[in-house]
Amino acid sequence: MSSCKLSFSKPLLSSLFLMSCLMALASAGNFYQDFDITWGDHRAQILNGGQLLTLTLDKSSGSGFRSKNEYLFGRIDMQIKLVPGNSAGTVTAYYLSSQGPTHDEIDFEFLGNLSGDPYTLHTNVFSQGKGNREQQFHLWFDPTKAFHTYSIVWNKQRIIFLVDNIPIRVFNNLESSAGVPFPKSQPMRIYSSLWNADDWATRGGLVKTDWTQAPFTASYRNFKANACVWSAGKSGCDTKNSAGFEDATWQDQGLDAAGRNRLRWVQQKFMVYNYCADLKRFPQGLPLECKSSRFL
């Protein structure tokens, strides 16, 4: 909030400024302030005075939470430590989503695995209710040993998925050039849940959840949203310029040469599924956005 500490000579102006800062910013978070536990009762817990959140899954239920705020554009960071050991059959979903049949959605889903076998990071983008844009990755580290940062940069030009600040996927706004709908007008909440999906998640459902290992636990910390909070039908960013942000680089963030190199590295070495390369699935031709750029 340091950039909100501007001084104004008139107290009225300064309090108006502060109000718009508070509306537009939800920075370094406290889970009590920023999130509601939405299901799973005691299986979801906020700990350490709001600095840590844990979700658990046992045989009778999973658990989940969602942000109190809705956002329309921003950069959202969360550190997550995934279910360790034999996590086969479990899915930890972490995503942004709006509501309704033509909703937009930006997904990270972590598919568990047997001890020693790699997690799969599944990603997708929905716009106007339509997804089918899956890309999946293995990671270059063990996501259960420590917290790692998973980020979504969402601006008017593109969506960038980042892992420890390394871009793994970019979804460009090709609305005007190719007519591909882009999430740009529906505010989204942040959601996360831990649940059992052993009918499909691990090796396509072949490996079942080992309930003797339950409860399964995923942990969250250091939530940060440099984002435009939606309130009363308006974006907090309409009322102020980028000076109100702690860090406004996300607003026109793209990939520079170094970013493109890292994206290429991830896509060459760690991508295990790409809908844009799945010709069998799209016999009528690949989705339009697949043709328009190498880096999707």
Residues annotated as catalytic (active site), given as ranges: 105, 109
- Token pair listed for 149: 């940062």
Nearer to ligand NAG, 153 or 201 (CB): 201
Residue number, 156 or 203, with CB nearest to ligand NAG: 203
d(CA 87, CA 119): 9
Instruction: Report the nearest approach of ligand NAG to the CB of residue 82 (Å).
Output: 12
Tokens of 73: 């554009």
C-beta of 224: minimal distance to ligand NAG in Å?
28
3-state secondary structure 56-105: EECCCCCEEEEECCEEEEEEEEEEEECCCCCCCCEEEEEEEECCCCCCCE
Compare residues 120 and 186 and give the one whose CB is closer to ligand NAG: 120
Give the 3-state secondary structure of residue 55.
Answer: strand
Helices (H), 181-274: 257-269
Q: How many angstroms separate the CA atoms of 182 and 184, rounded?
A: 6
**Residue 148 C-beta: closest distance to ligand NAG, Å:** 17
Q: Which is nearer to ligand NAG, 155 or 202 (CB)?
A: 202
SS percent in the chain: helix, strand, coil, step 5: 20, 40, 40
Report the nearest approach of ligand NAG to the CB of residue 126 (Å). Answer: 21
User: Measured from the CB of residue 112, what is the shortest distance to ligand NAG in angstroms?
Assistant: 7
Q: In terms of Cα–Cα distance, which of 58, 31, 33 is closest to 43?
A: 58
Residue whose structure tokens are 């972590």: 110
Q: Which residues sit at the interface with ligand NAG, rule CB under 6 A?
A: 111, 113, 117-118, 120, 201-203
| Beta-strand relationship, 90-97 and 189-196 | antiparallel
- R_g of the chain, CA atoms, integer Å: 20
Q: Under DSSP, is residue 24 helix (H, G, I), strand (E, B) or coil?
A: helix
Q: Which secondary-structure segment (H or E) carries 290?
A: helix 288-292
Q: What is the closest distance, in whole angstroms, from the C-beta atom of residue 62 to ligand NAG in the complex?
A: 17
Nearer to ligand NAG among residue 62 and residue 244 (C-beta): 62
Instruction: Name which of 32 and 273 has its Cβ closer to ligand NAG.
Output: 273
